Chain A
Amino acid sequence: MGDKSTPLLAVLQLLRKYNLKGTEDILRKEANLGDVEYENLDLPEVELANILTAHHTESDPYSYEFAYDSLKKFVENSLDVYKYELSTLLYPVFVHMYLILILYDHNEHAIKILEKFGPEQDEYYQDDLKRLCAVKNKDQVKGNELAEIYSSNKFQVQLSRDASTQLKRYLHEQKSSPIIINIIKNHIQIDVCDGPGRSHAQVKSTLGGLLGEASRNENRTKVYYGLLKEPDLQILPAQIEDEEEAEETPDKPKKKKAKKDNIFMKKPKSDPNAPPNDRIPLPDLKENDKVEKGKALREAAKRVQLGPECLPSICFYTLLNSGHTAICADICDDSTLLAVGFNNSTIKVWTLTTVRLRGMKSADKLQDIDREAVRLWSLQCWTCIVVYRGHVWPVWDTRWSPHGHYFASGGHDRIARLWATDHHQPLRIFAGHLSDIDCIQFHPNSNYIATGSSDRTVRLWDCLTGTQVRIMTGHRSTPFTLAFSACGRWLASGGGAGEIQIWDLSSGLPSAAIPPASNSPIHALAFSRDGTILASGSLDSTIKLWDFAIISDENINEENGNAAPTQKEDKFLLRSYATKNSPIKSLHFTRRNLLLAVGSYDGSV
C-alpha cells in the first residue's frame, strides 16, 4: 500500500476528528481500506498537518536531496554576517527530511540522505543522529523517544532580522519545491530578533540543545539571584529563615553556603537582586538550629582565603573494594558525614570525624538508581521515615534546599518535583524538559531550582510560581552535575563530554565555556566557599581547579558576555591533580575551604 495510504489515512483521521462520519465512510469504501489500517489511525497531530500540507511533494523522494543541497549552497553563499545564523537551519531541516522520508516509506532514500549529509552535521548532533537512525520505518517513528521529540516540538532557531529577510527571499525563489518551506513552517520556530547578525563564536556558544537555542523571550523574567539576608542570631533570634525540622536533621547542614559571606564581605544590606526573605516561606529557626548555625559561622570565620596563589588542600577519600558498586556520594555541609549510595540500593554512611556514629545500622538514603520513590532517612534513628511517591520512573537526582525543609527531585519521567518534608504530595511540579532530568540543584537562596537534562539544556525554575524562568542552551552533551556559585549569580554545569559551562543567571546566557580536557564526563563540581575557585572532578580520575575569579571578572567586564573566551581556558586552569584510577564521585568544600573529594578505586583500569 505504501505511498498512497499514508495521506489517505491522514485524511480519514482528520475526518474522524471533525466527526464527519458520512464522508469518512464514503472515502473508506472508495479507497478500499481494510479494517486493520483503519483501526490504527493515530498519527501524531503535527505529523497530520505535515502530511496534509506536504503530500503533493511526497511522490518525489529525489527532490529532497536537491532541496537540501540547494539550501546548503544558499547558506554557504550568503554573507558572513548571516552565514552562521543561517547554518543553524541545516540540522533541523535535515532531521525532518529524514523523518518525512521514513514516514512516506521511502526508506532507501532516507538512508541515502542520512549517509550523504549526516557526517557533515555538527559534531554534537552526531549522537542524536545515531540514535535517530535506529528508526528505519514508519511504525518505529511512533514510540521512539527522539523522533517524537522532534515531531511534536518545534526546533528553535534564532535569526537576526536581516538574516530572516534573506531566508524569506530564498524561500520565495524556491516556490517550485515546497519541501523546505513546509519543514520550516511546520517544524521550525524562527525567533527573529533585532540587531546585527551574530558572529560565529556567538552563535556557537548557545548551540547544541536538542531542540536548538533558547528563545530570548523565555529568559526575560527577573531572577532574584542575590542571597537572602542573614538573620542576626543575637538580636533577632526568632527571625525567619533556615530551618530543618527535628526529623529531618538528616542532612543537617546543607544550609547556608551563602550566609557566611555577610560576615566577610559586609555586603550592602539591601542587595537589589536578592529576593525578599519571605518570598517563599521558610520554617522558623529552632534552638538547636541556632546552635548549629552559630557553629557554622564560627567555623566560617576560620576560613582560608583561596586564590591562585593560595590553593586549597585536598583530602581524598578512596573507597576501596567497591568496584563498580559505588554510585554516588555526598558529604554533609558541616563535613562530618559521608554517605555513599551503592548499586544494590544501600547507603552507607561514614563519619569523617572521630565522633562515632550512633548505633550504626546500615542506613539507606535518597537517591538510587532504580528507585521510583524518594525516601527520607533519618540520621538520628537510622530508619526510613517517609517514602515520597510520585515519580513513575527512576529518580536520577535529589537535593536538599540549603535552608532545609524543601527538597527537589528529578528523573527519567522528565519532570522535576519540589517536596516539603511535611507534605506527601509534591508542592510544585516542573515540567518542560524534553528528556531525562539528570541533575538538580537548589539555588543558595532556596528560591530557585536548576535542572540539567539529556535534552542538553539547563533550566532554572522558580519555586514560588513553579514556572521556568531561564532556559540555557549551549551544552554539547548531557550535563551531569550543577553547582551554584557562592554569590548566587553564576551556575556551573559539567557535561558528559567533559566540558564545563558557566551561566550568568541574570541574563541566562553562557558566560564561559571551558572546553573538555578529555572525553570523560564531569561528575562533580564545587565552588569554594569564598567563590574564587571552582573544582571539577571527572571520570578520568582527575580533579581540576579553575580560577573562578578570572572567569567571573571577565564576564562582568564585557557585560553582554556572550562571547565565549574559548582560547583563554589555559588561564582559568590552576592545577590538575590525578588520582590513582579513582574516578571522582563527589567534591565538597568544607566551611574552612578544605576540599574533600570522594572516589572509588577502580583497579581494573
Chain B
Amino acid sequence: MSDSELGYGSSFTVDSVKVIAESVGIGNLVDDAAKELADDVSYRLKIIVQDAMKFMQHSKRQKLSITDIDHALKVQNIEPQYGFIQPDSLPFRFASGGGRELHFIEEKDIDLSEILSAPPPKIPLDVSLRAHWLSVDGVQPTVPENPPPLSKEAQKLESVDPITKLSKPANKDAAGKPVCGKAARLKASESVHVKQLATHELSVEQQLYYKEITEACVGSDEGRRAEALQSLACDPGLHEMLPRMCTFISEGVKVNVVQNNLALLIYLMRMVKAMLDNQSLYLEKYLHELIPSVSTCIVARQLCMRPEVDNHWALRDFAARLMAQICKTFNTSTNNLQTRVTRLFSKALQCPSQTNNESGPSMVPSMKESEKTPLASLYGAVQGLAELGPEVVKVFILSRVRWLGERVEGALSGIGGADRLAAGNLKHQLLKVLAPVVRAHRQPPDLPDDYKREYGYLGPSLQQMVSKLRSSPTGGNAGGAVAVVTCTPPLLPSPSPAPGPSLAPAPAPAPSPSPASVTIQHTSQAHAKTIESVASRNVVITSSAPQSPAPSTPPPQKFVIVSSQQKNQTQPASSAGHIVMHSSQPTIVRSQNSVVVTSGPAGAAPPQKVVVVGVPPPAHQPHQPHQPHQPTAGVSQAPVSVVAKPVFARSGSAQQPPPELDDLSHLA
C-alpha cells in the first residue's frame, strides 16, 4: 500500500501476505488476491486490536497482552488462539537480505524430555498485601516504601544549578514536602525571605539518624553495623545528610590513617560502598571528598599497626574495587574521572629516575628521603590499576614490570620482615594480574629466557604462570579481568566490580609517564575540585607521614582531638600520648590539656575514645611549607555541623591487639 497512509494507520503489504501464504503452502498467490487479502486482514486485525484495547484499559494496564486479544476474540464469538503465552513483550527479531526485510518471532525447539527431567519450577509467590503510610497529615514520610523525596535528577539539577531551588520555593507537586512548621509560618507571615543557597539545617530526627548511623558504622557491634549499612544502601531521602556523611568519612579516613587504625578504615570504606549502592543518591557532588579517602586506603604507606601481621591487603583490595566502581559509575567525558585515577596510580609506579624530573617540588624531598615509593603503596597502585581492566594493566603495569621486579628483588633479599612480606605480596599480586594479560598479549612459545630479558626479575615466574594458564582449559575464555577476580576473594557480596574489557579506558590520554601525567601533582587552581584534593591528599600519603591534622581556620566551636599513643615508624613525632586539639580560637588550642578527657598515657591498655569533632581542612604539611595551600576544596564547603560526631578509634597497644583488627571475616 502507499506509504502516504502511514499517518492514519497502516496495512499489511502484499509481500507480507505472500510470505504468509508461502508459509502455509500456497506458493503462487496472485497479486490481486494478495491485495484483497491484505486489505481484509488489516481491517479485521485492527478491529480485534481496538476491542482488545478495551480489555487492556479495563485491566488498568498500558500494555496490550495476549489475554486481551483472547478476550476480544471471545467477544466477537471467535475461538481464541490457544497456546500463545508470553509473559512479557514478544521478542521480535529482524532480518534483512536480498532487498527484503523480515520481522519474525524466534521460536526455539523445546526438548520435552529436558522439561520432564528438570526440577519443577519454583512456585510463584503468592500475592500479598503490605501497608505503609504514604502520607501522614499531608507529609510524605521518607521510608523505603515511598519514592525518594528528591529524585536523582532533581539532586543533580540542584547541584549543577542551585538557582532552580530558589526559583520554585514551594513545589508542592514534586516532593510532597511539608508546608508546615517554619516554612508555613514564613509563608503565613508573607515576609520576604531570602532562602539560603544551600540549607544545611537538619531536623532533630535527621540529626539523631545521622548520629545513630555513624555510631553504628564505626562502633563495635557488627549487627548494628550491618543494619546501619543496609539503611545507608537502601533508604531514600538521605541526600540532606550526604554532605555530613561524606565529611565524616573523609575526616575519619584522614585521622585513622594517621592512627593506622585498620578496622576503622575498613568500616569507613564499607560506608562508602553502601552509599555508592544507594540508588537514590546523587553522589557526584561529593566525589572530591570520597575519592581522596578511597585512594588513601588503596595506596597509603601504612594502614595498620603491624604491617607484618595485619591483613591490610584486604582493605587495599576492597578500596581498589570501590574505586573501580566509582570510575565505572561516575566517569564522564567532562570529568575524565577514570583518566585521572589511572594517572594517580600509574604515577606511583614510576621509577624514581622519572619522578625526580617530573614530580613537583613537593615530591622531591620525600622521594629523596625514603628513596622509593613504599612497597605497600606499590601494591595498592597495582591493585587499583588492575581493577580498572586488562587494558590498563597492559599499558601501565606491564611497561614497568622490570622496575617493579627490581624493587621486589631488592626487598626480598633485604632484611626487613615487613618489607619482605610486602614484596612477597606484591610479587604474588603482580603475577596474578599480569599473567592473563601477558597470555593474551604474547604468542605461545613461552621461553624463560625471553621473559627474563623482557620482564626482568619477574620474568621466569611470569613465564611459569602464563604457561600454567595456557595449559588450564578454564583460563581460555577471558582476559585479565577474570584472573583478577579469582585471585582476590570478593570482600563483600557486592555487584562484582569485575572490570570487563568495556571498562578498560582508552589508554590514549596517558599511555606513558609523560610530563603531562605528572602535572597532577601541581594542582593548579584551574583544576577541578576533585583532582585537586586527589592530588593534595596523595601527597599526604606518599610523603612521610604527616604529624597530625594541622590547625587551620575551621568555623568556631569546631575542634579536633587526635590521640595517638604508639610510636610508629612513619611518625617522626616521638612524643607519646600526642594529643592535639585544634580550634579556631587560639586560646583553646593552647589549653589542650584541659580538654584531654579521653586520652590515656602511652601504653595504656584500654582502648580509648578519640573524638573527632567538626571538620579540619585537609592537612597541610608542616614540613612542606612551600606547597601551595589548597583552597580546601571540599571541606570548607561542607557544612560544619554543631553536632559532635564521635569516632571510636581503638588504638590498642602492641600487647593487646584491638579485637577487630584481624576480624576481616565480615569482608570475606
Does A575 have its Cβ within 8 Å of any Cβ on chain B? yes
Q: How far is the CA of A393 from the CA of B71 in the complex (A)?
A: 11
Interface-side segment among B61-69, B403-411, B522-530, B545-553: B61-69
Q: How far is the CB of B589 from chain A (nearest CB, A)?
A: 50
Q: How far is the CA of A540 from the CA of B124 in the complex (A)?
A: 26
- Tell whether, in the assembled complex, residue A129 and residue B61 are in contact, meaning their CB atoms are under 8 Å apart: no
- Tell whether, in the assembled complex, residue B58 and residue A369 are in contact, meaning their CB atoms are under 8 Å apart: yes
- Tell whether, in the assembled complex, residue A317 and residue B129 are in contact, meaning their CB atoms are under 8 Å apart: yes
Does B222 have its Cβ within 8 Å of any Cβ on chain A? no
Does A378 have its Cβ within 8 Å of any Cβ on chain B? no
- Tell whether, in the assembled complex, residue A320 and residue B67 are in contact, meaning their CB atoms are under 8 Å apart: no
- Tell whether, in the assembled complex, residue A328 and residue B60 are in contact, meaning their CB atoms are under 8 Å apart: yes
Q: How far is the CA of A516 from the CA of B60 in the complex (A)?
A: 17
Q: How far is the CB of B128 from chain A (nearest CB, A)?
A: 5
Q: How far is the CA of A465 from the CA of B200 in the complex (A)?
A: 66
Does B183 have its Cβ within 8 Å of any Cβ on chain A? no
- Tell whether, in the assembled complex, residue B172 and residue A115 are in contact, meaning their CB atoms are under 8 Å apart: no
1/0 contact string of A348-369 vs chain B (CB within 8 Å): 1010100000000000000001
Q: How far is the CB of A603 from chain B (nearest CB, A)?
A: 12
Set of chain B residues within 8 Å of A320, measured between Cβ atoms: 125, 127-130
Does A48 have its Cβ within 8 Å of any Cβ on chain B? no
- Tell whether, in the assembled complex, residue B8 and residue A321 are in contact, meaning their CB atoms are under 8 Å apart: no
Interface-side segment among B49-57, B95-103, B321-329: B49-57
Set of chain B residues within 8 Å of A348, measured between Cβ atoms: 127
Set of chain B residues within 8 Å of A134, measured between Cβ atoms: 9, 42-43, 46-47, 50
Set of chain B residues within 8 Å of A314, measured between Cβ atoms: 133-135
A133-B9, A539-B60 known; A574-B129 Cβ under 8 A: no
- Tell whether, in the assembled complex, residue B130 and residue A318 are in contact, meaning their CB atoms are under 8 Å apart: yes
Q: How far is the CB of A328 from chain B (nearest CB, A)?
A: 7
- Tell whether, in the assembled complex, residue B57 and residue A521 are in contact, meaning their CB atoms are under 8 Å apart: yes
Q: How far is the CB of B71 from chain A (nearest CB, A)?
A: 5
Which of B54, B88, B134, B138 is within 8 Å of A436, CB to CB? B54
1/0 contact string of B1-34 vs chain A (CB within 8 Å): 0001101110100000000000000000000000
Which of A129, A130, A314 is the most central at the interface, judged by chain B CB atoms within 10 Å of its CB? A314
- Tell whether, in the assembled complex, residue B133 and residue A315 are in contact, meaning their CB atoms are under 8 Å apart: yes
Q: How far is the CA of A348 from the CA of B129 in the complex (A)?
A: 11
Closest B-chain residue to A478, C-beta based?
Answer: B57
A136-B39, A321-B124, A321-B125 known; A480-B57 Cβ under 8 A: yes
Does B126 have its Cβ within 8 Å of any Cβ on chain A? yes
Interface-side segment among A265-273, A422-430, A579-587: A579-587
Which of B43, B65, B138 is within 8 Å of A312, CB to CB? B138
Which of B132, B134, B135, B146 is the most central at the interface, judged by chain A CB atoms within 10 Å of its CB? B134
Set of chain A residues within 8 Å of B136, measured between Cβ atoms: 313
Set of chain A residues within 8 Å of B134, measured between Cβ atoms: 314-316, 543, 577, 579, 597
- Tell whether, in the assembled complex, residue B125 and residue A311 are in contact, meaning their CB atoms are under 8 Å apart: no
A137-B39, A310-B137, A321-B124 known; A114-B75 Cβ under 8 A: no
Q: How far is the CA of A114 from the CA of B5 in the complex (A)?
A: 10
1/0 contact string of B120-161 vs chain A (CB within 8 Å): 000011111111111111101000011100000000000000
Q: How far is the CB of B184 from chain A (nearest CB, A)?
A: 9
- Tell whether, in the assembled complex, residue A327 and residue B60 are in contact, meaning their CB atoms are under 8 Å apart: yes
Does A70 have its Cβ within 8 Å of any Cβ on chain B? no
Q: How far is the CB of B473 from chain A (nearest CB, A)?
A: 39
- Tell whether, in the assembled complex, residue A576 and residue B176 are in contact, meaning their CB atoms are under 8 Å apart: yes
Which of B7, B65, B88, B131 is the most central at the interface, judged by chain A CB atoms within 10 Å of its CB? B131
- Tell whether, in the assembled complex, residue B135 and residue A370 are in contact, meaning their CB atoms are under 8 Å apart: no
Closest A-chain residue to B126, C-beta based?
Answer: A321
A310-B137, A311-B137, A436-B54 known; A322-B127 Cβ under 8 A: yes
Does A578 have its Cβ within 8 Å of any Cβ on chain B? yes
Does B59 have its Cβ within 8 Å of any Cβ on chain A? yes
**30 examples of A-B residue contacts, CB within 8 angstroms:** A111-B5, A114-B8, A134-B42, A134-B46, A136-B39, A310-B138, A311-B135, A313-B138, A314-B134, A314-B135, A316-B133, A316-B134, A316-B145, A318-B132, A318-B145, A320-B129, A324-B59, A324-B61, A324-B65, A327-B60, A328-B60, A338-B129, A340-B127, A343-B67, A412-B54, A496-B57, A575-B138, A577-B134, A583-B60, A585-B60
8 cross-chain pairs, A with B, having the tightest CB-CB distances, nearest first = A311-B138, A316-B134, A134-B46, A133-B8, A314-B134, A314-B135, A321-B125, A322-B127
A interface residue numbers (CB < 8 A to B)? 111, 114-115, 118-119, 129-131, 133-137, 140, 144, 310-322, 324-328, 338, 340, 342-343, 348, 350, 352, 369-370, 393-394, 396, 412, 436, 438, 454, 478, 480, 496, 520-521, 523, 539, 543, 573-580, 583, 585, 595, 597, 604
